[in-house]
Chains A and B, each alone.
Chain A
Amino acid sequence: MAEAVTELPIVANARALPLPGAAPWLVDLRDRGLDAFEDQGLPGRKTEAWKYTRIDALMKKTAYVPAPLTADPVLSAIPCELALGCEGHRLVLVNGRFSPDLSNLDALPRGVTVQSLATALETDPQAVEPYLGRLQPLESYPFAALNTGLMGDGLVIRVKDGALIEMPLHVVSVAHAPDGVPVAFHPRLLVLIGKGAVATLLESHVGVDGGETLSNGVTEISVGDDAVFHHYKVQNESPTATHLAAAQVVVGAKAVYESFALSFGARLSRHDIRVCLDGEGAEARVNGAYAADTGQHMDTSSFIDHALPHGTSAQTYKGVVDGSGRGVFQGRINVRRAAQGTNGHQLHKALLLSRKAEVDAKPELTIFADDVQCSHGATCGQLDDDHMFFLRARGLNEEEARGLLIEGFLDDVIDMVFAEAVKAAMKDMVHAWLLNRSSRKEGA
């Protein structure tokens, strides 16, 4: 049911603001975005895709101000300890705006070009016109539509056909509300991986100084035929942050898309990942892990769409939920009539560490082809008594044994990460989360 969403502060405040770029197609795209958001309304109780994750109250009551209207955030340094700790060409967004001073564009390898979206829209809009908003459908995800309506900045990343890029590109998105005013921003990433190219993109989403922030990001990714694209994301925002992210990935013939999303932060996070296997023999490995504690709600919703024959998709997600935290996993695999010979698998495993912790899992398979192998599974449990006794019989106290098992539970899925350096950095983050967890417990 449509509500007057244009009256919401997040929309009304943003509309008063000039956005970069005046090309007619862009103005039209933004209008269509806002219209689509208006048509869908704020997802609420009756919206199936959002029935476990309620966001309407938060959006109605919080007077979010668009980031460019607040004082220009000045950061002398980014909070590196919260970001993925591995080497990469750093591309920094502060409240959704590209920050050249904090970024490192000098040493970009041949075959890669990076441009801020604002610059692209102002100076060379026709170069992005064929892609922007074409990959991400507006009608099925209200916040992607909102992002499209209000997008002002972000990044355009292109990797040329056949380029082999060894060092990852690392997008660090910093959320920052220094003066107590709730800040909303809508970063937009457009990533175009050429045919036969090999590249890695890291995304670290972090917060500084707390404050109420809303990051409503959209990432559109096109992986060309025969290309291999690794995409790793860490969400480590402040405990007062809201993190909404939609990634739409289109994978070409015999191309591989590998992703891993790791979440520790934010009060409320929703990670929507939609992958369309849009070429014969395309492959997607879409994995992730999350750790939610009291006051945190983490939602991962995936949609893998097998459009053409002989595609392969595999998803494994694991979540640890402590205190009164809540985890949500909605995973859908769709196999279109043409997608014969599809192989699609999905697994979600949750570990509940307290009686108040809650996890909702909703796996779905919709299959219209007849020659397919598909499976899905969801488990939800507690720490294994035999494992606990084994560790305690080797001298570990209860807390140490629990810590090691929780770490192992998450490390087990992080082991699926292809890039060794990223794998190690993610395990370090899990370890740090556990150390924080035990100090929180001792403090409590």
Chain B
Amino acid sequence: MTVKFTTTINGKEVQGETEDRTLLVQFIREHLGLTGTHVGCDTTQCGCCTVHVDGLPMKSCTMLAVHADGKEITTIEGLAKDGELHPMQAAFRENHALQCGFCTPGMVMSSIGIVDRHKGEKLDEKTVRHELEGNICRCTGYHNIVKAVLSASEVMNKG
């Protein structure tokens, strides 16, 4: 059986038609060809598939595609504006906050969520480390990721 739905992906309206059981991450990667959103564990643990749903980070491997109906979805491809990286992406680049890069899209999406939740506050290392608990980097490159999030939070809070 198939379902039809209308969603907004990275600012563009998209008509979806998938099997009822299709996952949101499959829809994003296989139907739309947006392969920046990764599938790491497929069991809701690693956070590689994190996207924003109406501005909130969620794990797209644990949502149905049809759950996107009427929602605004932002993927890693939707962050840069007019050829300019989002401050979080820029901070990851500046701080070399990646090794193999597989977890990076999810890390960036979750990290923006951390800064959003603490808008106007000065973030500290402990908070960032704690709130990254839903993202796993198997290169264990957390040190520079935390540095990048702290650095981006200052830029984002100014903007």
A binds B: no
Which A residues are closer than 8 A to B by beta carbons? none
Which B residues are closer than 8 A to A by beta carbons? none
